A and B are shown apart, each in its own frame.
Chain A
């Protein structure tokens, strides 16, 4: 009978650690999105504007319509008038658009002469030819001083348009 005791001890010990480990398998998840991109396709061009003895503004809407206040435009010689355009690749995600408060154009002959652009506006339109992209049209207001020196005003630095997922 005494010989049975050690045998019982071994049996009990073995049973106590019959499940010494346990495993749980979990799923790791991730969703990767293509980075948002913006590519300029058309420059912003206010066209020709006739200066005045008083200050005034020329507003170019995103749809390309010009509206003047205090200055004049010539319907016969409008010049090249285009709202800016950019292609935004957003991959069907919501995004926000940031435009500058203002931007300065300089007279190509006299850099001391300049024009200020502000009140930028934009209109994103779905790009029917490429799902997941928009055509972003951008307009702004051109501010002319009284007796603004005639000439070609531009700024090759360009203004920044920033798009971000939100």
Chain B
């Protein structure tokens, strides 16, 4: 039994060294991409501000990611004194490759209102190389919404393409 084992090993060894005089050169390249990072710019936030629910029924408030004023679906929602009391979040991205942005609502602002249609100003979901972007969204305000302050959470993820 021991002799059979030895013969098998010899065959394998012979195959391994059968071409020991041929060389091939393969260039090896590596480009190290720095980790992508995202930072909320100081002094910015997603703030729909203060307004009244509409007496006409369910309504929406839209924060556009382009710096334009918020828009109400019902004109009776706006309070003049708080007409400029809103804000959109601006992000700085540390990147050196194309990336995409994924937006998601982690926590809705209360149990009655819903935050939907999150959007950004980069135009496409992928292939972005800008150093930053702005996020907007739509707040759906039912006519039965309870008055008061509410907060929610939004996750903003940037990923290399």
For A32, give its contact among B26, B40, B45, B150 (CB under 8 Å).
Answer: B150
Is B4 engaged at the interface, CB distance under 8 Å to the other chain?
Answer: no
Cα–Cα, bound, A18→B91 (Å): 22
B109 touches A166 (CB 8 A): no
Interface size range on B against A? 35 or more
Asked whether any CB of chain A lies closer than 8 Å to the CB of B11, the reply is no
* Stretch of A2-10, A61-69, A111-119 with 4 or more beta carbons under 8 angstroms from chain B: A2-10
Whether the pair A31, B40 counts as a contact (CB closer than 8 A) is: no
Whether B50 and A22, one on each chain, are in contact in the complex, defined by CB atoms closer than 8 angstroms, is no
Which of A20, A33, A36, A164 is B159 in contact with, Cβ under 8 Å? A20
Across the interface, do B35 and A18 meet the contact criterion of CB distance under 8 Å? yes
Residues of B within 8 A of A36 (CB): 52
Q: List 26 A-B contacts (CB under 8 A).
A: A5-B28, A6-B28, A17-B33, A19-B36, A21-B36, A21-B159, A22-B35, A25-B153, A25-B154, A26-B46, A26-B153, A28-B109, A28-B139, A28-B154, A29-B151, A30-B48, A32-B50, A32-B146, A32-B148, A33-B50, A33-B52, A34-B53, A35-B55, A165-B81, A166-B79, A166-B80
Bound complex: CA A148 to CA B100 (Å): 80
Inter-chain contacts of B109 with A (CB < 8 A): 28-30
**Residues of chain A contacted by B76 (CB below 8 angstroms):** 35
Q: Across the interface, which residues of B come within 8 angstroms of A31, CB to CB?
A: 49-51, 148-150
* Interface residue? B122 (CB, 8 A): no
Interface size on A, residues (CB 8 A): 34
CA distance A6 to B79 in the complex (A): 66
Question: Chain A, 51-62, contact with B by CB distance < 8 Å: what is the 0/1 string?
Answer: 000000000000
Q: Is B152 an interface residue (CB 8 A)?
A: yes
